[in-house]
Amino acid sequence: MKIIDGKKIANDIKEEIAQEVAAIREAGGKIPHLAAIIVGHDGASETYVGHKEKACNQVGFNSTVFRFEDDVAEDTLLRRVHDLNEDPEIDGFIVQLPMPKHISEQKIIEAIDPKKDVDGFHPINLGRMVIGLPAYISATPAGIMELIKRYNIETLGKDVVVIGRSNIVGKPMSILLGQKANPGNATVTMCHSRTKNLKEVVLRADIVVAALGRAEFLTADMVKEGATVIDVGITRVKSDKTKSGWKLLGDVKFDEVAEKAEYITPVPGGVGPMTIVSLLQNTLKASKGEIYPK
Amino acid sequence: MKIIDGKKIANDIKEEIAQEVAAIREAGGKIPHLAAIIVGHDGASETYVGHKEKACNQVGFNSTVFRFEDDVAEDTLLRRVHDLNEDPEIDGFIVQLPMPKHISEQKIIEAIDPKKDVDGFHPINLGRMVIGLPAYISATPAGIMELIKRYNIETLGKDVVVIGRSNIVGKPMSILLGQKANPGNATVTMCHSRTKNLKEVVLRADIVVAALGRAEFLTADMVKEGATVIDVGITRVKSDKTKSGWKLLGDVKFDEVAEKAEYITPVPGGVGPMTIVSLLQNTLKASKGEIYPK
């Protein structure tokens, strides 16, 4: 059994990006600049945006955060989005979700210029990904694909089962792994709450992506010997064994599944650390015009 | 075994649309108007566009065809696309593919206003479909979903296998049948040329969608007793038994598979007749602002 060390890979990639930014700086080029819009004072959102700013600093990107109060008008946000679309200094930007109820998240997302949509949530980027055209891939799927690449996990002709059909993980993962590409070319089955014979289906999988959001759902009896197990879940539960009084659980019952798996991602330290790195990679691509020529 | 009679359903739907158009006309409303752009003199393209014009006439739509020679400049086509985007008389339009080599099909498709993209090929419509938002669904997948609906074929919790991963059939069918919707909610596996144990996978399927484009590929030994079989293939082969000297074959070896299937679509007369009807339905939706409010 080998643990897929997302933390290490994330640090490696940050180091690679930092070197590239240093070279850009040396050559007098434009430093990549990521902006974020955050509304209100949701604790988790604040934390995420804080992590993103810190990551930008680590690799040498410029970063700007635009803060709005909970009662901001939708029009005000849309104006900010339009300004960022037009601002040549900003290479890419994200709108931290969730938004307050009176704001249409979809309207805001669709107002973002797809060329600067480094979260990959705009339907154009999703549609281009489905067709196999260059597109910003959203952070979690992009991070998982990067882990698969860096650990040389074979996907061609493999039976993959994705558990969960969310728009930001399950669906894009199914599409990416079935795509004519490397990694890709797998035979993918997407399971969800209405799947009838889940255990039987998952037992056939060479690679399992657990992304349903239920703590320790995937148990050893559901996993084939030698499978690769990617755990996307993060559930915070109370614990009297940690200083903070909390611990994080994945969708996989790690200890028992690890004994059967060939590769497995831990929680924390697996897929999680990759998400911010994916955002950095997308921002670098944006600044270089790699997805959409400038 | 029941044959899914696409020709009959297509005629039923045309009749329903014709009645709706008659009512619109009576009320003095705007008659739906579909336009088509065709380049060159490709025989198949001419035939398709001819069929589409005829179908428009049958249901009472207005239709206009814009013809260009093979050597038309890309800019000329783009200008026509922009004009159609702006023209309030035109509710929806299509660009008949394939285009000559010097034209970028993707550039033309992405120039179409998604609100008028009744072929559903614009990445925005594809992306919105993936997210589960209102979107124009392209003709073949929309036609198959309509057949499933009208024959009350249960998809919830069923094991579906889609053979083929094309952008216009395999991928959208996989997404639609796995979607949280009715029809939908199936456990979908998408197979393709790199799938290793295809027969074994297909034998598990309650519903098989054969869309790989190889005549009579799917044989009885690959199909479970009582499965529903949707045949998307159309291959024209020489025949000394028909007047024309040609006959059409599907991807399914019809005679032998029909003996095991509960429902099966024939070729011709199954999925084929539904495609033009889907285009009419999309045009009607466009004229009513059902997908994108006007």
Mean pLDDT of chain A: 97
Average pLDDT over residues A186-206: 98
The string of DSSP letters for A34-84 reads EEEEEES--HHHHHHHHHHHHHHHHHT-EEEEEEE-TT--HHHHHHHHHHH
Assess whether A248 and A208 both reside in one domain.
yes
Assess whether A59 and A149 both reside in one domain.
no
Residue B286 in any domain: the answer is no
- Report pLDDT digits (tens) over B184-235: 999 999 999 999 999 999 999 999 999 999 999 999 999 999 999 999 999 9
Assess whether B56 and B152 both reside in one domain.
no
Mutate to test the interface with B, among A112, A192, A200 (most CBs of B within 10 A): A192
Contacts of B157 in chain A (CB under 8 A): 194-196
Share of chain A above pLDDT 90, in %: 99
Interface membership of A226 toward B (CB under 8 Å): no
- Could you tell me the sign of the dihedral formed by the alpha carbons of A103, A107, A112, A115, in that order? positive
- Report pLDDT digits (tens) over B148-173: 999 999 999 999 999 999 999 999 99
Assess whether A78 and A181 both reside in one domain.
no
Do B224 and B206 form a contact (C-beta atoms < 8 A)? yes
Mean pLDDT of chain B: 97
Assess whether A109 and A45 both reside in one domain.
yes
Interface membership of A131 toward B (CB under 8 Å): yes
Contacts of A177 in chain B (CB under 8 A): none
Residue A281 in any domain: the answer is no
In 3D, which of B150, B175, B147, B139 has the Cα closest to residue B160? B175
Distance CA B207, CA B227 (A): 6
Assess whether B147 and B218 both reside in one domain.
yes
Interface membership of B132 toward A (CB under 8 Å): yes
Is the pTM above the cut of 0.95? yes
CA distance to partner chain A, nearest, from residue B147 (Å): 22
Do A291 and A117 form a contact (C-beta atoms < 8 A)? no
What is the extent of the structural domain holding B232? 139-273
Contacts of B130 in chain A (CB under 8 A): 123, 126-127, 130, 167, 171, 175
Instruction: Give the DSSP H/E element, type plus range, for residue A6.
Output: helix A6-26
pLDDT at position A52: 96
Task: Say if residue A180 is exposed, middle or buried (CB neighbours under 10 Å; 0-12, 13-18, 19+).
Answer: exposed
Residue A234 in any domain: the answer is yes
Q: What is the CATH number of the domain that holds B44?
A: 3.40.50.10860
Q: How confident is the model at residue A88 (pLDDT cuts 50, 70, 90)?
A: very high
Assess whether A42 and A162 both reside in one domain.
no
Q: What is the CATH number of the domain that holds B156?
A: 3.40.50.720
- Report pLDDT digits (tens) over B34-80: 999 999 999 999 999 999 999 999 999 999 999 999 999 999 999 99
Residue A143 in any domain: the answer is yes
Assess whether B41 and B147 both reside in one domain.
no
Instruction: Please count the structural domains in chain B.
Output: 2
CA distance to partner chain A, nearest, from residue B122 (Å): 8
Closest residue in chain B to residue A114, using alpha carbons only: B124
Assess whether B230 and B265 both reside in one domain.
yes
In 3D, which of A199, A213, A223 has the Cα closest to residue A271? A213
Residue A206 falls in the annotated catalytic set: no
pLDDT at position B209: 98
CA distance to partner chain B, nearest, from residue A132 (Å): 9
Total length of chain B: 294
Assess whether B149 and B83 both reside in one domain.
no
Q: How confident is the model at residue B294 (pLDDT cuts 50, 70, 90)?
A: confident
Q: What is the DSSP letter of A271?
A: S
Facing residue for A130 by CB, picked from B106, B126, B189: B126
Residue A248 in any domain: the answer is yes
Instruction: Give the DSSP H/E element, type plus range, for residue A18.
Output: helix A6-26
Contact assignment for A130 to B125 by CB distance below 8 Å:
no
Residue B96 in any domain: the answer is yes
Query: Is the predicted pLDDT of residue A294 greater than 90, yes or no?
Result: no
Residue A213 in any domain: the answer is yes
Average pLDDT over residues A66-73: 97
Assess whether B157 and B101 both reside in one domain.
no
* Residue B163 token pair: 């053979």
Residue B125 in any domain: the answer is no
pLDDT at position A81: 98
Residue A182 CB neighbour total at 10 angstroms: 11
Residue A52 falls in the annotated catalytic set: yes
Mutate to test the interface with B, among A107, A125, A131 (most CBs of B within 10 A): A131
Assess whether B147 and B244 both reside in one domain.
yes
